[in-house]
A and B are shown apart, each in its own frame.
Chain A
């Protein structure tokens, strides 16, 4: 099976712009979670989607949003980018059973100038 894929791998934006990141989960996985990883804060949970519905949400401002499509692919959007949004954004997918292993993608490295 192919692993979790994320596009693009690297992105450079300027403050005030918006960005959309994409994640394709492992085939058959219906849960997709997004995380932000920074050196100072570590791995922080953004949100989780399951069967096109947001099932969980972390403590991030409304500028961060996401969605999931019927094929389980997910997108994450960040509007009005700030310098502090520079981070590695990781997507993880999990099988239908709620407490099974999450598998991570390689991440998208976002740099905001």
Chain B
């Protein structure tokens, strides 16, 4: 398949282990955050979101943590599966401009 990014940071995890992907965001005024998953040759797919009035949100096998003090976002994937292999992006929404700003992405490789 086609590469989303050739020089992305890569996280390699064993199948069944937990994965933690980190993201530093830029704007302290951003009030809404999204994690996306992008598989090779496809558009980004919504995984989970969180608003700035929360510090944790859980979905199915995924948890997003927000630390506004240090402008840090993380995505935790429990019991990582081969199908989780993809590039993961965080996005922040600036309430003043409605713009989404995307992180550079992290490639997750799941080792069998």
A interface residues, Cβ below 8 angstroms from B:
4, 31, 33, 35, 37, 39-40, 42-43, 45, 48, 50, 55-56, 88, 90, 92, 98-107, 109
Contact = CB atoms under 8 A, between A and B. Distances in A.
SS class, residues of chain B in contact with chain A: loop
Q: How large is the interface on B (under 10, 10 to 19, 20 to 34, 35 or more residues)?
A: 20 to 34
B100 A90 contact: no
A23 to B, nearest CB: 11
Interface of B: 2-7, 31-32, 34, 36, 42-46, 49, 89, 91, 93, 95, 97-102, 104-105
Contacts of A90: 43-44
Contact of A39 (B3, B31, B49, B102): B3
A45 B100 contact: yes
Contacts of B5: 39-40, 42
